[in-house]
Amino acid sequence: MDTRGEDACYARIPRVTYPFGAVVGMDDMRLALLLNAVSPAVGGVLVRGEKGTAKSTTVRALAAVLPAVAVVPGCRFACDPAAPDPDCPDGPHDADAAGRTRPARLVELPVGATEDRVVGALDLERALTEGVKAFEPGLLAAAHRGVLYVDEVNLLHDHLVDLLLDAAALGRAYVEREGVSVRHAARFLLVGTMNPEEGELRPQLLDRFGLTVEVSAPRDPVQRAEVVRRRFAYDADPSGFADSWAMQEAELAARIADARARLPHVVLSDGALRQVTSVCAAFDVDGLRADIVTARAAIAHAAWNGRDAVTEDDVRVAARLALPHRRRRNPFDAPGLDEDTLEQALSDARPDGGDPADGDPGDGPDGPDGPDGGDPPPGSGPSADGSTQETPGADAGTEAPSPSSAPRGAGAGSTEAGAAPERAAVAPSDPFRTRRLEVPGIGGGAAGRRSRARSERGRVVGSTRPSGTVTRLHLTDTVLAAAPHQRARGRTGPRLRVRREDFRQATLEGREGNLVLFAVDASGSMGARARMGAVKGAVLSLLLDAYQRRDKVGLVTFRGAGADLALPPTWSVETAAARLTGLTTGGRTPLAAGLLRAHEVLRVERIRDPQRRPLLVVVTDGRATGTRGGTPLADAHAAAGLVASAGVASVVVDCETGPVRLGLAGTLGALLGGPTLGMADLAAESLAATVRSARKVA
């Protein structure tokens, strides 16, 4: 086969980075990136937005305008020749040695990266057999004095996000394996991007990012046209397009360098500091990290605009970037700031006579620099693949849909004679902390917090002979394997002689994330307002639990004449909560159709993601009715047997209430091969009370 066409196609792939100044709009995102470029101590940027909004293009373009760095020749850790790292594994370096200059690096972290790939790996075999501390640097070392970019950071496992944020905050990376440790400098600009539809970061991790911005595509046809125009020009001639922006890129790089030089001399007066703390207190953020980040961002903004003192407008801009994501208490809260509260907090902390920092009134929101207190970044007219920046907090994706916007099938019920009429959507009751529902057995899927699994993190449960490089040494078993052979190996001193065949790889048991599929009965038998509100509150609580345990979630609803997939499996619990809130009730109970639809969804998902074990949660009272006669209850039981035969772990949540109960949900749970829990049994407190009672009886 002739592959010359393919080779030519690959040869045309542009290798020139899209210019930062040519990005259209996205003013808040670019400003947040530039403030971190001026002062990496701000703590990085998290960019949240829909797909196709030039998030990655803008981040990659930033590295090209960062000032070049001087490095020690041959040092794998990019030490500064003027102040080499005393702990550098490649050191010690001669302070008088000549350095070389290279561009700042952009290092991209893949979602599937391992811990050793991120922080570096120690060669334990050489350390034990030869006494040599051999260290292979990771991505943190490569990103030192540059940019570390994590696309889809919300899909990265929590412990890796913690490692990145710790290194960004401390400016150092630590690697420890079985008593052998290495540390090195790791100061970088951390940038994470994510699509909220694919799931959220935990609030504890959100708080660790210094600044957060929301982005969306522009709605103005003129601006969208400019995006397309520039993109076509870039694709046709990348080098020529970059050359046309070279002067603005050079000016931007010089401005960043000037702001960095000015930064240590910027004064944060007591008045400006009072405004920072007043704003943070007004928005009731947790802890003091928000105050520190806001103050650092205000100082960086002042330096960026060539000022030697922080003004009220610097505080205003910093608060808009540093506080929205810190106001969230759970994943269903929309980020954002109330502008009236912000202005009132600034006013309350303002001493009589004006700006606490005695700044130039012309630098304020009504001055010539515009609403963000500074000149927009060069080239801030239209964007690369185009988008404009939304005001922080405009996260429409977290709003609950109205009943009329409920998913197809979830809000349409049978109006045949004898069928219960459709009822309007009922608001869910308050969520509560639920007991952990698990998939039996030991899996090996994606790391999470629900079911037992073999993983790279967790407690040591044994050891095996390594098939390749030893990454987790089981020291005790290694010593026990080597001990019987010491006399044969001619040991004459106290030192233990260890060979390759003695090494044992530690086997760890941790937790995995699962696919939690909810099958919710939305028929007329569930339609009492108080009852359906409690049911929705219980499912909402389980959704919150799934979010915290890093699960994928899906939602099947059944009512009327059939069942619908209201939400395909996703990581976005926000979307699931919105669909659940807008769920209406009414009609007959096609329980068999609901179970069969759930079975089909799980079958397809098992093909797509075979390592993620499913957990089916059926929320129903167990009743089954049909519209055309037949044996609906027998059909439902047959469908339950089909689900059980597929090896799907199931839990039935019994919603039946009243003095007379049929116990149909319990029968369904037995056929599915899983437990049946009452609504009250879902709460973690009820489980704890049951355990305490059992102990007293014992």
- Among all chains, which residue has been given the structure tokens 């790791």? 186
What number of helices (H) and strands (E) belong to the chain? 22, 20
**CA–CA distance, 653 with 511 (Å, rounded to integer):** 24
DSSP letter, residue 204 = H
CA atoms within 13 A on the CB side of 158: 20
The tokens for 597 are 């639809």
CB 656 within 8 A of CB 664: yes
> Cis link prior to 92 (omega < 30° from 0)?
yes
Q: 403: burial class by Cβ within 10 Å (0-12, 13-18, 19+)? A: middle
Report the sign of the C-alpha dihedral through residues 359, 363, 367, 370, in that order: negative
Q: What is Dmax (Cα atoms) for the chain?
A: 94
In whole angstroms, give the CA distance from residue 680 to residue 537: 12
In sign, the C-alpha dihedral spanning 223, 225, 228, 232 is negative
Distance CA 654, CA 520 (A): 11
> Is 208 one of the annotated active-site residues of the chain?
no
Nearest to 559 by CA among 532, 539, 530, 537: 532
SS3 assignment for 264-299: HHCECCHHHHHHHHHHHHHCCCCCCHHHHHHHHHHH
Q: Is the dihedral of CA 601, 604, 607, 608 positive or negative?
A: negative
Among residues 406, 37, 374, 359, the alpha carbon closest in space to that of 191 is found at: 37
Query: Which entry of 172, 183, 202, 289 is annotated as an active-site residue?
Result: 289
The burial of 43, by beta-carbon neighbours within 10 Å (0-12 exposed, 13-18 middle, 19 or more buried), is given as buried
Buried/exposed 328-338: b ≥16 CB within 10 Å, e otherwise: beebbeebbbe
Identify any residues that bridge with 214 across adjacent strands, giving them in sequence order: 48
Amino acid at 555: L
Among 288, 291, 284, residue whose Cα is nearest residue 338: 284
What amino acid is encoded at 24 in this protein? V
Amino acid making up residue 275: Q
| Beta carbons within 10 angstroms of residue 375's beta carbon | 14
Spatial distance between the Cα atoms of 527 and 546, rounded to a whole number of angstroms: 26
Tokens of residue 577, six digits: 């909560």
Strand positions, DSSP E, 53-115: 69-71, 100-102, 106-109
DSSP structure class, residue 91 = -
Q: How far apart are CA 301 and CA 263, in angstroms?
A: 9
Task: Give the H/E segment covering residue 453.
Answer: strand 447-464
Beta strand 100-102 with 69-71 is antiparallel
Element (H, E) at 644: helix 632-645
Calpha distance 201→158 (Å, rounded): 8
Catalytic center residues: 289
